[in-house]
Structure 1
Amino acid sequence: MTGTDSDDNATDRRLRLLVGLVVVAALVVALGVIAHAYVWPTPAPDVAMLFVTLAAVLVANHMRVYVRIKSSQDGTTWGEVPVLIALVLLPGPWVVLCAAVGMTLRMIATRKSPQKAIFAVAKEVLTASTAVAVFWALDVRPSLTDPPAALIPVIVAMTAMAIVDHAAYLPVMATASHSTVRRLATQDLDMKLAAYLVRLLATLLVVAVLAFGGSLLLLLIFPLVVFCMHLWQSRRIRTREERESWQRLAEATDELNAVDLTHVLHSAASRAALLFSAVETEIDLVTDSAERTVRGTSQRVTFDGSRAGATELPPAEITAELVTHDGRLHMGVLRLRFGGPVKLTEFEQYKLRTFTSALCTAIRNATAYAELQRLNEQNAYDAAHDPLTGLANRRELYERAGEHFQSHTDEGVVALLLIDLNHFKEVNDTLGHAAGDAVLREVARRLADAAAPGDLVARLGGDEFAVLLVDLPTPALATHRAKSMLSTLERSVAVEGMQITVEAAGGIALAAGSGGVNELMRRADIAMYQAKRAGQQTATYAHSQDTADVSRLALGSELHRAVAEREFVVDFQPIVDLGSGEVVSAEALARWHHPEHGSLTPMEFLQTIERSGRLQDFADAVLDQALAASDQWREAGFDLPVAVNVSPRSLLDPRFPETVLSRLGRHEVPADRLIFELAETLTLSQLDVVGRALTELSEAGVRLALDDFGTGVTPLSVLSHIPVHQLKIDREFIGAVQTSSEASAVIRSTVDLARSLHLSVIADGVESEPQRHALWSLGCVAGQGHLFARPMSAARLLATMQRGTAGRPGALAPSLHDGGAVVRMSRRRSGGSGRSALPHLPA
């Protein structure tokens, strides 16, 4: 048996007990009236007057202003009026008999349940007997011929009847409606008192007319007067009830105006029970996201869960569909249970439609808000987590580390463990990226499981992970915890039926006193590479082994001055056609003319710039000088593309493509005259990140050259990730082209690959004529190196091209062609494919 069933059974038992007490009291009082009449005999009544009294009792009790309370209907009646008037004219026992018979006939006519009928008759007998007792106590003797002026007894008797009526009725009604006697007694008290005074006034008026010479025929006019007063009272009560009902409906709809779906459903269940005086309310919600049932009374919610987990209840008396106003979306059903037959008035039906419409709107709003909140949370989660492993990403790591730096807590030491997997590329190359992803997910899971509470495990990209170690009691514990975490990676990983051993190196850095998160990351990075070089599992950052020593820090502090005073200059090394010796493009090479250290190459200062936050200023300065040189050469008749080295960190800036295109427009240089050179030693994870920027630039016409080609481990993967136009063979292979068959094979395979992909090939580091001839024989058509020219300023390069060789402007070396055997093809810009304008391989 459920809690609801046991509550209903207890209520029924209390109701039967209270009804029984009223019946017993009525029997006792009735027997007392009979005994009194036996001791003091009363004259025989007028039969016609008895029938009139009986009819008056029947009609007066039927004239009721109904107010629904739960499944019952209650209201004020005119039942006391005929009883009191009859006591002035007829003996008391006969009046009690008429009241009992009249109420019995009404119960039979309205087909009330036996329990309700017995209670109503007993209550009528009890109140009528009370009035008789008052008249006897005040020695009022009835008379048809000379009615007494019983105004005072009528007032006393009617008051006594009201008290007894409420004493018998309120406990029963409070139990049936699960309310309190006090609440029912005070509910609409002013209206009850007004109705009492109206009935009392009508009774006194009739008694006064009869007592002071009025004819009994005036009683025929009395029903009409009572009926008019009843209509007035009914209209007044209903007007007030409707006004209060609208107020309650407005309060209910205001309470539904919430963004939490649970609050909406719970409020709706309780408010509906209160609005329509229902014993219980049930809401069956059916949406795309959930199926849910909520039940409640006016006091509390009794059930909230899935429909499958709800107990079956009897069918509801009133059911309303939860449908949007346009009828296109069905959200569920609202059920109202009253415990008995109920018919809603037209006003109540309209009120129900209004409530269900407001509930539908509230459900839609709450559902939409919940979905929006879910999307916001998902977006926030995605922005802070790595999509492959579910770990925190670089951004979340920096934010969490920054919070620890800003809080300045003394709870413990903060350290950073930077982890890099050894030889992970071999997994991707051998088994494919799906297997590599599986290994990364397993590594992430093991690191997360091994992390201490409060530590943050993050994936920075590719095969690089980081762990923010917090609340360390001593610095030495950082090494212990790092080794413990890395030891979890020693167990082999099962991938596609193979057991793979994962090796990793970790660098540990304790939080520095200054420099913040960036400095902490830099130190951990240095320590990690120290571990790799030493073949150790972990290494802790030591200042004495930091290659970024005081001199590098000094360079970093001078960057602002260097940019402002234009200490960064750009030299240009020409790229020539190996066959004709003519210049076909030029590569921009930056130099730092330091006032103390002299000319510094990018190898000496680029890493400092990248870590200083001044990379964008440096890149802008180099690009401006390169585009200005290209514009200068074009005006002099040499329309040469210019190649500029670009750092992957620059491509991480989402504003980089827009900045480049803006500078091209400012210098009026066509986009296909600009070539960006990118190191082929980039990892695939870096290529995934910068690919979007490169694609945007390529679509605008800017070309891309892959520098140091052949030194990476996955050249084909690189070519599939970015829109490449040129390949620059690393100088390592060019220097050995005459002595190493392996170097020649690499160059020939690169040329064949480029021919199949419609790419240009440039040889970097051509130092001698034999190298030039060997490269030309292998199919390489362009090159750069000291054989042709060293890096020089833009003006000097222009003068060199104007001077030329052997009377050929633009040529820096003699032609390899026999003048009568070869027809020279004119240089052309890239066509629709956006490929290089360098000469193609000879047929």
Structure 2
Amino acid sequence: MHTRSSNDDATDRRLKLLIGLVVVLAAGVATMDVWHAIATHAAVPHPLVLVLIYAISLISFRIKIVIRVRSNQSGFTWVGVPIMAGLVLLPVPWVVLCVTAGMATVRILNRADPLRAVFAIAKEVLVISAAGAALLLLGAQPSIDQPQASVAAVVVAFLASWLVDDLVFYPVIAVASRSTIGKLYRNDISEQVIFRAATLATIIYINEVLVMGASLVLLAFVPALVGCLHLWRLRRLRTQQEREAWRQLADTTDELSSVDLNQVLHIAAAQGSKLFSAGEVEIDLTASGVDRVVRADTDGVTYDGPGPRKFDGDLSITNELETRDRSYQAGLLVLDFGGKVKLTEFEQYKLKTFGSALCTAIRNAAAYAELQRINEQNAYDAAHDPLTGLANRRELYERADEYFAGRTDDGVVALLLIDLNHFKEVNDTLGHAAGDAVLREVARRLDDAAAPGDLVARLGGDEFAVLLVNLLTPALATHRAEQMLGALETTLEVEGMQITVEAAGGIALAPGSGGINELMRRADVAMYQAKRAGQPTATYAHAQDTADVERLMLGGELQRAVAEQEFVVDFQPIVDLGSGEVISAEALARWQHPEYGYLTPMQFLETVERSGQLPAFADAVLDQALAASNVWRAAGFDLPVAVNVSPRSLLDPRFPATVLTRLARHDVPPERLVLELAETLTISQLDTVSRALDELREAGVRLALDDFGTGVSPLSVLSHIPVNQLKIDRGFVTALETSSEAAAVVRSTVDLARSLHLTVIAEGVESEPQRHALWELGCVAGQGHLFARPMSSVRLLGTLQRGTGGRPGALASALHDAGAVVRMPRRRTTGPGRTG
């Protein structure tokens, strides 16, 4: 396909008008030359002289130094030689006849464009007439027998022909190439001077031969002289052109080093037009699977959009954009010259080199764009919830931190915390797929109801949060919250069932201190107030912030407690129910409060989890547990230690690295650490923390599922977490002797654990009957007051060393005969080595 633009048509019209003017002027001048020859009774020259001038003209036009300017091929010829030689010997009309005949012959042989041929002939008529007029004005009369032209006259005539040649040639070329006369002339001036000087030297030689009356045979050396000069000049010009072409190619290749694909394509198209003197250049990326075409000329990009190409066929030159090893193809590079053009061997090599560089640049830019897309996608994924597409907890905290870091007076900021009521019933009844559908619909409605600038986030499970900004008054927060919760009142359809979503929302205004953690805590307090009151929303009020004054005081003292190491760890041994030997220990955190005394996790753990001190608290507990494990191991009791982990800790992306760093610092093998997870984790929370758990599991850390049987979907939890241990909740152990249902739960748990190759540990073993019942049901391990209460690491070590029944490391007698065989623990001697 080859279509023409309006600019091309306008250029053609101007070019034809200018050429027509040159032809008309040449016709008039030729008429005057003929009239002058008739008026002066000019003699008819000998035919051999005419043939000689014709032959020299033919040779001069045939050996031409070609220069391509866009779609036009122009250059320097040696036609000045036959012109000046002919004007010394013949009247102007005869010189015009011989020279134009030679030119016409060459044009016919080359099948040149008729319009260009007419222009070239008309230009030479003007050049010959100008040189002939200059000779006549200086008194040089043409004569075959007695030529009288002086060297000065020849030089002046030659300069006149040069001037007329440039005056006619450059305006036409400027219009054809859409350039300026000054720019073209400056580019050619150095070449013209050298070439014209060589031509003038040849002309002076011929003139001296003729004027001195030497034999015309000496003119036979003229073609040889012209040929030698031509070859010398051609070689010099080609060397210079190749050097300049490589420089331009190198500069263009450097410009293609951009990683912006648009910039690469635009630079390549525009510079390619200049580099190959093409009218237009097209880059077609269809071969790489992208429907895009970029087109440009020397003035810049003229088109960038979908295909098809504008130039396709014999009138253009196409080069495949592929790497040198042909391992990657980016598309096609098309050069249009406005006509059929044959590239030289050097130009073909330059085109392939340019195409290979462009292909590499396109591949690099495309790879960078893909990498940038992946980075942007990763950044998006890191800040958004994968299920609903809302912002996640991390993004909410960062946005809130930005507000607290640069607070302005633009308005009030508040946080709305939303929790769906009875959402677990949806999962239990309809399944998790239906639950996910409900969460997505809730997210969509909240996002649609949010005001511009507000941030809607999903914190996990069925908990959502909305950061309300630019509030004119605090009261507006309540109005905005009611609107958002009202958007959830309309029933939604899931799997053909109409479901009504109920939610409770807690509203908290941004506090003067405490940041996002305090804001989240207050919104959480308000949300539970709304739940207890059965209201859709509640706004945080300091006076109503829980009746537990001690919890408020504890919340303000957490930072001090962590800094002053008031949190300590006790350990409860886990015993082999059959042999009575201690097989591991569970770490239990305690707070030695200076005022309230010895506090258990039930009294402070919730406050810690909702504060910003959870990472420091978890790290302190882990550090003490691993330190104790090292002490026991050094004493010969290589016991794994179990540490409870809050689900909120697993939401912290830094938690796995913290655990592994602590293990390395205490030189404790990862398999000697057991992280206990609450079985009451929801499926949505499991999806969120699975990455952290996978990282810890791959490092060798073991996982245990605590309070097994108390959650709503234990099998679903097991399918998400590849645990090593199951811990039966103490409630089932307590009811074991009186409840057949409790015994059935324990039995099914043991059977399930066997099929999954898991260890079962019973919690809260208080009596020997419970121990025997658990043993008979297949449970192999347990912990509880029957064996030992929680104690410090030092006290536990002493207990292990004393043992019972003469068996160190045992806390109860054996239930079977094999228990009579005392299994002594492997003790350490000096250093890290062990004795057998």
TM-score normalised by L of structure 2: 0.87
Give 1:189 shift.
Answer: 0.8
Distance 1:211 1:493, change over 3 A: same
- Secondary structure of 1:142's match? coil
Q: Which residue in the other structure is 1:14 paired with? A: 14
Aligned to 1:834: none
Q: Secondary structure at the residue paired with 1:197?
A: helix
Matched to 2:747, the amino acid is: V
Q: Report SS of the residue matched to 1:458.
A: strand
**Post-superposition CA distance 1:706-730 (Å, at most 9, x none):** 4444443223323333345555554
1:256 Cα deviation (Å)?
A: 1.7
Aligned in 2, Cα 1:657/1:100: closer, same or farther, shift over 3 Å? closer
**Distance change in 2, residues 1:407/1:327 (3 Å):** same
Whether the 8 Å CA contact 2:640–2:674 is kept in 1: the answer is yes
Partner of 2:538: 539
Matched, 1:158 2:154: no
After superposition, what is the alpha-carbon deviation per residue over 1:630-664, rounded to whole angstroms, capped at 9, x for unaligned?
78888999887765433334444566567667777
Counterpart-to-counterpart distance in 2, 1:539 and 1:647:
27
Q: Which stretch of structure 1 is more off in the superposition, 749-758 or 806-815? A: 806-815
1:611 Cα deviation from its structure 2 partner: 4.4
Query: Which residue is 1:60 aligned to?
Result: 60
Q: Which of residues 746, 752, 765 is equivalent to 1:756?
A: 752
3-state DSSP class of the match of 1:467? strand
Q: Aligned runs of 1:269-308 on 2, under 5 Å?
A: 269-286=269-286, 288-308=288-308
What is the distance in 1 between the residues matched to 2:772 and 2:231?
Answer: 120
Change (3 A) 1:364 1:718: closer
1:46 aligns with 2:46: yes
Change (3 A) 1:97 1:786: closer
Deviation readout 1:276-306 (Å, 9 max, x if unpaired): 2222222222455524322222222233233
Counterparts of 2:34 and 2:518, CA distance in 1: 107
Contact residue 317 and residue 341 of structure 1 kept, 8 A: yes
Query: Could you tell me whether the CA contact under 8 Å between 2:517 and 2:611 is conserved in 1?
Result: no
Residue in 2 aligned with 1:107?
Answer: 107
Q: Distance in 2 between matches of 1:790 and 1:443?
A: 47
Deviation at 1:791, TM superposition (A): 4.6
1:422 to partner: Cα distance: 1.5
Determine the structure 2 residue equivalent to 1:116: 116
Show the counterpart of 1:77. Answer: 77
Q: 1:181-202: CA deviations, max 9, x gaps?
A: 3332332212112222332233
Q: Does the 8 Å CA contact 2:527/2:538 hold for their aligned counterparts? A: yes
Q: Deviations over 1:21-80 (max 9, x none)?
A: 122111111221222233332234333322222222332233322112233321122223
Say if 2:732 and 2:746, in contact at 8 Å, map to a contact too. Answer: no
1:459 counterpart = 2:458: yes
Distance in structure 2 (CA, Å) of the matches to 1:240 and 1:376 = 47
Q: Which residue of 2 aligns with 1:840?
A: none
Equivalent of 1:745, from 725, 732, 741?
741
Structure 1 pair 637–88 and aligned structure 2 pair: CA distance change class (3 A): closer
Q: Residues of 1 paired with 2:165 and 2:228: CA distance? A: 25
Change (3 A) 1:16 1:563: closer
Identify which range, 72-81 or 620-629, moves more after superposition: 620-629
- Assess if the C-alpha contact under 8 Å between 2:315 and 2:340 holds in 1: no
2:357 maps to 358
| Structure 1 stretches lacking a partner, 5+ long | 830-843
Q: In the alignment, residue 396 of structure 1 is paired with which amino acid?
A: E
Over the matched positions of the two proteins, sequence identity in percent amounts to: 64
Partner of 1:838: none
Secondary structure of the structure 1 residue equivalent to 2:403:
helix
- 3-state SS, counterpart of residue 745 of structure 1: helix
Structure 2 matches for 1:137-216, cutoff 5 A?
Answer: 137-212=137-212, 214-216=214-216
Residue pairs, 1:624-663, within 5 angstroms: 644-652=643-651
User: 1:430 matched to which residue of 2?
Assistant: 429
1:386 aligned counterpart, secondary structure: coil
Cα pair distance change 1:691/1:24, threshold 3 Å: closer
In structure 2, C-alpha distance between the alignment counterparts of 1:749 and 1:460, rounded to whole Å: 33
Report SS of the residue matched to 1:254: helix
- Describe the shift of the 1:448–1:147 C-alpha distance in structure 2 as closer, same or farther (beyond 3 A): same
Which shows bigger deviation, 236-245 or 685-694?
685-694
Q: 1:474 to 1:559 in 2, by over 3 A?
A: closer
Aligned partner of residue 499 in structure 1, secondary structure: strand
Write the distance in 1 (CA, Å) between the matches of 2:334 and 2:247.
Answer: 22
The equivalences for 1:241-256 within 5 A come to: 241-256=241-256
Residues 1:461 and 1:201: Cα distance change in structure 2 (over 3 Å): same
2:220 equivalent in structure 1 = 220
Deviation of residue 586 (structure 1)? 5.8
Quote the Cα distance in structure 2 between the aligned partners of 1:666 and 1:101: 99
Question: Residues 151 and 101 of structure 1: is their aligned pair in 2 closer, same or farther, counting only changes over 3 Å?
Answer: same
Q: In structure 1, how many angstroms separate the alpha carbons of the residues matched to 2:668 and 2:189?
A: 91
- The question of 1:683 aligning with 2:682 is answered yes
Please tell me the root mean square deviation across aligned C-alpha atoms, in Å.
3.9
Q: Compute the displacement of 1:20 (Å).
A: 1.8
- Residues 410-429 of structure 1 aligned to structure 2 (within 5 Å): 410-429=409-428
Alpha carbons of structure 1 residues 812 and 757: separation in structure 2 relative to 1, 3 Å:
closer
2:369 aligned with 1:370:
yes
Amino acid at match of 2:518: E
Q: SS at the partner of 1:418?
A: strand
Task: Find the residue that maps to 2:4 and give its secondary structure.
Answer: helix
Shift, 1:435, TM fit: 1.6
Could you say what secondary structure the match of 1:489 adopts? coil
Answer whether contact 2:288 2:329 (CA < 8 A) is retained. Answer: no
SS at match of 2:160: helix
Is the Cα–Cα contact under 8 Å of residues 151 and 204 in structure 1 kept in the other structure?
Answer: yes
Shift of 1:230: 2.8
Contact in 2 for aligned 1:316/1:336 (Cα 8 Å): no
Which string of whole-angstrom CA distances, capped at 9 and with x for unpartnered residues, describes residues 91-113 of structure 1? Answer: 33322333333333333333323
Report the Cα distance in structure 1 between the residues aligned to 2:393 and 2:348, rounded to whole angstroms: 60
TM-score normalized by structure 1?
0.86
CA distance in 1, matches of 2:452, 2:385: 20
Q: Is the 8 A contact 1:87 1:142 kept in 2?
A: yes
Distance 1:101 1:92 in 2: 14
Determine if contact 2:736/2:742 at 8 Å carries over to the other structure: no
- Show CA shifts across 1:542-599 (max 9, x none): 1122239875454355546545665444445566788999887765443323222222
CA contact (8 A) 1:729 1:747 kept: no
CA distance in 1, matches of 2:318, 2:528: 73
What is the letter of the counterpart of residue 598 of structure 2? Answer: S
Deviations 1:780-799, CA, capped at 9 Å, x for gaps: 78766667765555666677
- Return closer, same or farther for 1:677/1:362 CA change in 2, 3 Å cut-off: closer
Contact 2:288 2:331 in 1 (8 A): no
Greater shift, 286-295 or 629-638, is seen at: 629-638
